[in-house]
Amino acid sequence: GSSRVANAKLAAKIMSADDAAAMIRSGDTLGMSGFTGSGYPKAVPLALARRIEAAHAEGTPFHVRVWTGASTGPELDGALAKADGIELRLPYNSDPIAREKINRGTMEYLDMHLSQVAPMAWQGFLGKLDIAVIEISGIRPDGALIPSSSVGNNKTWLDRADRVILEVNRWQNEALEGMHDIYYGTALPPHRVPIPLVRPDDRIGEPTLRCDPEKIVAIVETDSPDRNLPFAPPDACANAIAGHLLEFFRHEVAKGRLPASLLPVQSGVGNIANAVLSGLIDSPFDNMTAYTEVVQDGMIDLLEAGKLRMASATAFSLSPDKAAHINDNMAFFHDRLILRPQEISNHPELVRRLGCIAMNGLIEADIYGNVNSTHIMGSRIQNGIGGSGDFARNAYVSIFMTPSIAKNGAISAIVPQASHVDHITQDVQVIVTEQGLADLRGLSPRKRADVIIANCVHPEYRDALRDYFDRARMHSYGQQSPSLPGEALSWHQRFIETGNMRA
Ligand code: 0RQ
């Protein structure tokens, strides 16, 4: 295809990925694009990984610090982690090789609220940013950058970095132009002002990214697909969870606590979240909107079914089939989707103002409704908190969902005490498993425990949990949130020792 670098001065900076990667030094901090497998640079990180491997083969240390939007793809996190090239990674990871190194203790990982990354970078809390490596879908004649399939922290990396390397990816659809809304009104306190977004479909910024052309040191042209994973078709468990949730929404509308078109939905990633979205197709709710982090397959189906009016997010997270489908039907989707910087898509001020319905996955919850979204057995990281905290604390109603058991029943997702806490009980209003739904609003801790044990726990674990709670009520040091500290984590200890939480 022909070049998408329409600015003559910038076209002179086109070079190979290897030449661009040669500008990166050991010790550099890199701000890269990428959010849930879309819009990440695909050539320079691979070339950098080759350089790092060659340096290590000669016995020369070579490490970089890598900041992104959220998760990326195997050509970035996978390749750099495999080369043992990452000293510190933030703010989110779902790459299996990087996860392995983090859990082995050979790679530092800082797991952050995604809305806080850009502000913290501006505040100087994260240190200096040396180089931005950003995928875009084109450069306009005036030098403005047309974003790609995710926005993430790109605006901030372009602003903050000393030098900029661009990857212009010809694979990205040219019709992406105009779908983005890049807000330049953020400022540091004491000059911060309200963000002027009052409806999910408001456009408050510009369609392109600004970048000082003097800072651009290299442009690499690529033609590579995003590597999004297919979703599993919803199984019986996911369908049951979706069913309980839809029943809850119908009930809330009937009670007058939710409007008939609901409120802007936020949906986490994963198969269950996707099943819930699919369930909304056959629901009575119309004219819905989404104010969320990622646009996934289920939202595309809702848009096409006319149930969802529009969706605002920071990235696409689509199966390869759906990505192709969108590419073929851009005329329909162009004005129904808005991609924003993640500090805006996940902004607490906006989530609270719009009244988002937050729906996120969990790893485990305890009988009081504290939620662990990140750590297995209290110490092994799975992914990260992502945007779940941004939405959960500020939502109109905050919902967490999970199968009641994991690993074929060797693990109960509801435990006496969470082995790690990401979302405190105050940020968790509803918990749903395939067993049922626990509406925790307005309940004191002891009442929460009763409802969670009765409605959410798998039958194989229900008696044991009930027994623990009954004994805690008799022997606990205090009665506000009864607990037996010597026993509270014994289910986890048993799993670590025997591979099964069951006695
Ligand atoms: O492991 O892949 O080895 O089989 O965790 O679990 O059940 O497939 O569910 O894909 O929805 O993920 C919380 C991880 C759930 C996700 C979490 C194991 C399970 C499996 C995945 P295997 P499932 P999901 C905005 C929202 C944080 C970020 C977030 C997540 C794997 O939802 O990362 O919310 N959330 N972002 O077997 C041991 C348990 C377990 C367990 C699950 N109790 N013990 N293993 N697993 N429960 C979007 C973004 O931020 C981008």
The predicted pLDDT at position 221 comes to 98
The predicted pLDDT at position 1 comes to 55
Kindly list the distances between the CA atom of residue 457 and the CA atoms of 51, 91, 413, 433, in Å, as whole numbers in the listed order: 51, 32, 8, 8
Rounded to whole angstroms, how far apart are CA atoms 117 and 346? 11
Are 242 and 234 within 8 A, CB to CB? yes
Q: How confident is the model at residue 204 (pLDDT cuts 50, 70, 90)?
A: very high
Residue 194 CA to ligand 1 center (angstroms) comes to 34
Is the CB of 294 inside a 6 Å radius of any atom of ligand 1? yes
The predicted pLDDT at position 371 comes to 98
Rounded to whole angstroms, how far apart are CA atoms 178 and 180? 6
Nearest CA residue ID for atom 6, ligand 1: 363
Is the CB of 406 inside a 6 Å radius of any atom of ligand 1? yes
Is the CB of 372 inside a 6 Å radius of any atom of ligand 1? no
CA atoms within 13 A on the CB side of 292: 28
Rounded to whole angstroms, how far apart are CA atoms 359 and 338? 20
Residue 269 CA to ligand 1 center (angstroms) comes to 9
Is the CB of 382 inside a 6 Å radius of any atom of ligand 1? yes
ipTM over 0.90: yes
Q: What is the arithmetic mean of pLDDT over 81-97? A: 98
Each residue's pLDDT tens digit, 403-447: 999 999 999 999 999 999 999 999 999 999 999 999 999 999 999
Q: How confident is the model at residue 349 (pLDDT cuts 50, 70, 90)?
A: very high
The predicted pLDDT at position 261 comes to 97
The predicted pLDDT at position 229 comes to 78
Each residue's pLDDT tens digit, 231-269: 788 899 999 999 999 999 999 999 999 999 999 999 988
Q: At residue 54, does pLDDT exceed 60?
A: yes
The predicted pLDDT at position 424 comes to 98
Q: At residue 228, does pLDDT exceed 90?
A: no
Which of 363, 371, 372, 431 to mutate for ligand 1's pocket (most ligand atoms within 8 Å of CB)?
Answer: 363
Query: Which of 137-151, 168-182, 274-288, 350-364 comes out lowest in average pLDDT?
Result: 274-288
Q: Which residues are designated catalytic?
A: 293
Q: What is the arithmetic mean of pLDDT over 6-29? A: 98
Q: What is the arithmetic mean of pLDDT over 142-167? A: 98
Residue 146 CA to ligand 1 center (angstroms) comes to 33
Is the CB of 264 inside a 6 Å radius of any atom of ligand 1? no
The predicted pLDDT at position 188 comes to 96
Which of 317, 382, 496 to mutate for ligand 1's pocket (most ligand atoms within 8 Å of CB)?
Answer: 382
**Ramachandran angles phi, psi of 431, nearest 5°:** -120, 130
The predicted pLDDT at position 196 comes to 98
Rounded to whole angstroms, how far apart are CA atoms 400 and 180? 29
Tokens of residue 52, six digits: 């790092």
DSSP, res 74:
I
The whole-model pTM stands at 0.97
Is the CB of 34 inside a 6 Å radius of any atom of ligand 1? no
Q: At residue 377, does pLDDT exceed 90?
A: yes
The predicted pLDDT at position 45 comes to 98
- Percent of the chain topping pLDDT 90: 94
Q: At residue 111, does pLDDT exceed 80?
A: yes
Residue 384 CA to ligand 1 center (angstroms) comes to 9
Nearest CA residue ID for atom 48, ligand 1: 268
Ligand 1 atom closest to the CA of 269, numbered from 1: 48
Kindly list the distances between the CA atom of residue 471 and the CA atoms of 74, 475, 490, in Å, as whole numbers in the listed order: 49, 6, 15
- Percent of the chain topping pLDDT 70: 100
For residue 467, with 0-12 CB atoms within 10 Å meaning exposed, 13-18 middle and 19 or more buried, which class applies? exposed
The predicted pLDDT at position 29 comes to 98
* 437-439 and 430-432 strand pairing: antiparallel
Each residue's pLDDT tens digit, 455-475: 999 999 999 999 999 999 999
Average pLDDT score, the chain: 96
Q: At residue 2, does pLDDT exceed 90?
A: no
Q: How confident is the model at residue 275 (pLDDT cuts 50, 70, 90)?
A: confident
